[in-house]
Amino acid sequence: MTPRSELLAVDIGNTRVKIGLYEQKKLMTPDVLPQPEQMFVSPADRLQDLEFQLREFLVSGSAKWVISSVNAESEQKFLDWLKAKRPDDMIQRITGHEFGIPTTVDVPEKVGSDRLCNAKAALCLKDPGEPALVVDLGTAVTLDVLSGDGIFRGGAIIPGFQCAAKGLHKLTSQLPLVDADELRLPEFPAANTVSAIETGIFWGIVGAIRQFLALAHEERPALLILTGGNAYQVWEALLNPHANAKSESMICNADRSVHTSVKCDSVPAKQETDTQTLQEESGFIPVQMFHEVICCPYLTLSGIALCGTGA
């Protein structure tokens, strides 16, 4: 039985539907990013998978659903499914503008709800005066800047792993379609066409994040926050200058949590390291020498949940 005190945050993306189950009383702590009690993920076209996953949590009683969507077709299918299966439940659809986050973009009402929910959640993680780059690695990769004083300044949007792979295949006559969703530290240089596509997509996105992170610098280095389906692989690559498919070792502070709900201790900058030598040996400087990095797979869901409580 789902108590009335529980809330279900729903993130409807282009390819997946993600649900986070939260206790509402745990959403009321100011400036603390809440952590879901449970997470459920399903392809957007297979809602029956969610029904199976949720069966033990939604036996009876009522629940509150807070929904953010960037996919109108999938949203309507989800709402039809929800109203048929849970007719007595409360449903709240949000745009992200409920937060009232100040912004400098040209048309604020056109900013996607996922980006604004990420920004709201990121405000719980960054320090006052600290800028942040929030990277959501989904079908599209969004890279959004929060200024030190909490203003949403917009950012950049680039193709995600699968989107880039499909684009290369569709817009060329000879390049094969590559399944890029599970890419992890592909080798460079690549020795064949498929590997070359995998390497180009993966390290191209990693390189873009590094570049935009440098551009997000203000008076102090920007906090980097990663979320989305491919966040862990990118987190690993950014922290490991010797990252390679043949090497499992991580050159970073072992105390840093991959799936963290609170801000981690900073990875100490190795000031004594000769950065020029490190560049020559590994190809690039590890991000954590100058930036704190957080990987939070439920960032969007927690932003949605906060909106549902009016926090």
Domain ranges of the chain: 6-97, 126-295
Cα(151)–Cα(144) distance, integer angstroms: 11
Structure tokens that stand for 35 in this block: 């952590």
The answer to whether the pTM exceeds 0.85 is: no
Predicted local confidence at residue 60, as pLDDT: 61
Q: Categorise residue 61: left if φ over 0, alpha if ψ from -120 to 50, beta otherwise.
A: left
| Residues taking part in catalysis | 114
54-71 residue pLDDT tens: 877 766 667 899 999 999
Residue for token digits 């499914």? Answer: 81
- Residue 68 phi/psi, 5-degree rounding, is -120, 135
Between helix 72-85 and helix 47-54 the angle, nearest 10°, is 40
Predicted local confidence at residue 181, as pLDDT: 87
Structure tokens that stand for 212 in this block: 């935009």
Strand partners, 215: none
Decide which of 256 and 24 is more confident. Answer: 24
Alpha-carbon dihedral angle through residues 66, 258, 157, 125, given to the nearest 10 degrees:
60
Question: Of 10, 69, 35, 3, which Cα lies nearest the Cα of 308?
Answer: 10
Alpha-carbon dihedral angle through residues 296, 32, 219, 283, given to the nearest 10 degrees:
-20
| Record: fold of 6-97 | Nucleotidyltransferase; domain 5 (3.30.420)
Give the residue-averaged pLDDT of 240-266: 37
Predicted local confidence at residue 267, as pLDDT: 36
Peptide bond into 36 cis (omega under 30): no
73-129 residue pLDDT tens: 999 999 998 898 888 889 999 988 888 999 999 999 999 999 999 999 999 989 899
Summary mean pLDDT of the chain: 81
CA distances from 93 to 24, 57, 90, 151 (A): 17, 21, 10, 24
Q: Do domains 6-97 and 126-295 have the same CATH topology?
A: yes
CATH (residue range 126-295): 3.30.420.40
133-153 residue pLDDT tens: 999 999 999 999 999 999 999
- Residue 43 phi/psi, 5-degree rounding, is -55, 145
